[in-house]
Structure 1
Amino acid sequence: MNTNQIPRSTLAILDAEEGKKRLTEDVLALADALAQSTGQTILCVPDGLMYRGVGVEPLVREALVASGRLKGVLAVPGGMIFPNTMMDTDVLVLTSSNMDGSKVRMLDLSHPIFSGRTVRGRPEILPGTNWARYLEESTATDETFAKDVSLEEIKEKDFILSINRYLLPPAAVALEGFLERSRTIELQDAVELIRPLSLGKAEDGEFTIFEASPADVSQHGLLTQPHKISTLERAQMRKARNQRLLPGDVILSVKGTIGTASLVPADAPTSDEDGFWTAGQSFMILRPKRGGVSGVVLYEYLANPTVVEALRTLAGGSAIQSIAIKDLKAFRVPIPSEEEAERAELTFKQRQERHAQIEAILAEIEAERTSSWPSRELNRDMP
């Protein structure tokens, strides 16, 4: 809180000379590096500093890019530099002030050419790896782990320096290839997007509704009856009806845990009297349009691990990651042939039948266990 011992040149970069702004050691280290005009500087900072919008963090990133001194951002997986924490970090390489770079080299050090996994699962630098070599090479050609990003592109992304906003992860490359071979439309053309609003609650409300959270998504993809129960007055129900879940809807988490998808089952209640289901604010409700892809086909696409990983690259924000509505609307959806769609529907149905059989077997096993010694005697004596 006391900035008296910090050089005024460092504070001036953060516009913090009055001492009214909350400063952290990471922000101050970066600002102090910018205040030093000679030599090369290498900093290791938490990955959150590259995208968060807290306090003066956006300001120091903008100052860093505007300086023209940022030569490289090396994204380091958790556990590689600091073995006692799995927090992701970034190595920033700054040149002297007279270099005036127009591009920034982004490197993903979690790529298999740089690192491997130990027996305990921690990433480890491969023998003979030379980070500087890839930083110094004249061009970056493989955009799955290296890319030269212009300052203009960084400005367009609001000075966010997380490399997942610029590099193409393998999942995104695979998805792009798949979509190029398919007939596609934007998500906004395939579905009606409904953003759930806060409904509030009434202690003695006459209506009951159930609000879904990611924890209510079953492993087999169907939404189960939500655990969160709210009671509402009649006036509140008008707003709640606009975001009730209908059979065949798909819900997609776009805030916090990004990419969790679920299909609303055919037996989901829809009337006021039965207590209909709605979705929490971390979800977006996707209601398929008539004549387009079905809810099952849409779910099968969005729940694919490759698609989930690609969706997560769209996320940004400060402490809590989220997908902007404009990015979600423009997300491309493939249109399968009639035969492919029928096959997807049949496969999904058969998979649900198998899940039901598995659950029935597990219930029988549990019943056998509780009916034998010692569970039978212990359960009998329970108060």
Structure 2
Amino acid sequence: MTDTDILEPQDWTFPIPIAYGPGRLSEIGQRCAAIGLSNPLIVTDKGSRDLPFIQPLQGFISEAGLGSGLFSDISPNPRDDEIGAGRRAFRSGGHDAIIAIGGGSAMDGGKAICLTARNDIDLWDFEWEKPPAEIGPDQAFPTLITIPTTSGTGAETESTAMVTHTGKGMKFCICHPQLQPSLALLDPELTVGLPANLTAWTGADAMVHAIEAYCVPGFHPLCDGLALEGLALVAKWLPVAVREPENMAARGGMLAGSCLAGIAFLKGLGHVHAISHMVGAEFNTQHGLTNAIILPVVLRFNLPGMEDKVKRMADAMGLQDASVDAFIAEIERMLDDINIPHALSGIGVPSDCAARIAEKALQDSAAGTNPRTASISEMRTLVETAIAKAR
């Protein structure tokens, strides 16, 4: 694959319709009209509402003769009360679809609002481990279109969303099998303005998705193949995207790699995410950054005894030495190269929360698919190490 290949517009049909390529945001009005929409609600996060992609998005929709609204009261770690406010905005504005645009928080917020927009079902009845809520024929979910503006979350092709339960101070995964995006629009131009630190943090998130998904036990060649190709793309292009923010091939490679890794973790995730979800819920830390700091700690716990999988990941990254120690050392070198802090304490996480975070992390759905089971004392050690000195 050449740099030219990465810049060619592509239409993919797996696992949902995906429109990839620079400049493709300009198609959004015609695409909305083609599927019969008239008044979508644009959902983004507080940090993105004033960024330069919102106004063009609204302009392209208007040029197609359609109305639109904007809801942007979504935190970096979306909260249940914000989802309730979004549902009210959807209903009061007479909207018929949701366009989620932004990073992972915008994706999560948009999908969560979709789940509740046309019914009075409690948000937490959509929690991952509960039986799917019954959706009546007059309660069909609104059309959902996703437009990622970061290359990390990979949340654009499926319906799962992470939302903070304000009463419990924990994050939970919510979803429903009947909700699927009708279109994911991947335009690398939208990621060019992303600052170097956010490029690094979100890109590291994609790397964690690929590694954790591939390490989940079980036979799933579809997800495994996507995880390895996603890892290959991220390992090649993440350092370039951080150093050369205008490099469109790097931005395209990262956007595609993030998408693949996001599909791959339908197989599951692991203790990096289990810990990160609970740290984010309590301390409102940036998710990708939190994942990146924790990653080496969990790799040292998980990877001994997984030499065959480590070799395949090392091969995907083009490493000469495929040993466990060399693989972890290369991950740590990459994290150093993109200026990831060495401990959670460096981003404001106090040491006295370790026992509480460990207990909550073991209740996270991602802990259930980690390749090695952790006891409460082992999980506490992982959290304490990540807080004090992760690498």
When the two structures are superposed, what TM-score results if normalisation uses the length of structure 2?
A: 0.22
When the two structures are superposed, what TM-score results if normalisation uses the length of structure 1?
A: 0.22
Larger Rg: 1
Question: Relative contact order (alpha carbons < 8 A, sep ≥ 6): 1 or 2 greater?
Answer: 2
* Structure with the largest fraction of strand: 1
